[in-house]
Amino acid sequence: MSVQLTNRSKPVDRRPMNWVERMYLVNIFKGMAITLKHFFKKKPTVQYPEETRPFSKVFRGLHILNRDEEGRERCTACGLCAVACPAEAITMEAAERQEGEENLYREEKYAAKYEINMLRCIFCGYCEEACPKDAIYLSQTFTPSNYTRKGFIYKKEDLLIPNPLTDPEGFKKAQGEIQQAKETI
């Protein structure tokens, strides 16, 4: 005696097929109708990477290090971002600004070395919240793939936004991203 576990069981039709059924024409047309129905529907997929979807406003991606309007680095190597980072992804080395370097660094102390390990980072945004100098933000760009672990360690040169004196367009674009990040903090 068979016991039914659910009421969704379907009795199987085991009678021999007639010649019309053996040609499978009805089933072929049924399948074609389903294909045709989907053919005219709006595609849920996009042709990545030529086409991309807009990110959510609160998306947190790759970090950027900010400069001021004169192109000077804002980071003063205070280390607050590294302390706030739960993944211990940030490392830096501080250095004293020398005479004549006022056009390069905004504060008397600056980050001679600044690195973020993107394999450790969980993109929580704590670093940008901790920064008192308006120096670090998470952009709307996601970290590109790489073949080596080393390639995921981003140095200061990789993170700094373009200098407004040499690339005003790039600086303006980066400021747009920073503004968007500020609105979502």
Binding-site residues sit at 75, 78, 81, 85, 121, 124, 127, 131
Tokens 């360690």 found at: 153
Exactly one of 95, 133, 162, 175 binds ligand SF4 (CB under 6 A); that residue is 133
Cis, peptide link before residue 49, omega less than 30° from 0: yes
135 binds ligand SF4 (CB under 6 A): yes
Distances (CA, A) of 98 to 65, 71, 94, 113: 21, 17, 13, 16
Per CB under 6 A, which of residues 73..102 are in contact with ligand SF4?
75-81, 84-87, 89-90, 92
Structure tokens that stand for 160 in this block: 């700094």
Confirm if 160 and 65 have CB atoms less than 8 A apart.
yes
122 binds ligand SF4 (CB under 6 A): yes
Kindly indicate which of the ranges 3-11, 38-46, 122-130, 144-152 contains the residues binding ligand SF4, using the contact rule CB under 6 A: 122-130
Exactly one of 124, 162, 163, 175 binds ligand SF4 (CB under 6 A); that residue is 124
Give the helix ranges, DSSP H, for 2-90: 19-22, 25-39, 80-84
Question: Closest approach of Cβ 79 to ligand SF4, in Å?
Answer: 5
Q: How many CB atoms lie within 10 A of CB 60?
A: 21
Indicate the residue among 76 and 139 with the shorter CB distance to ligand SF4: 76
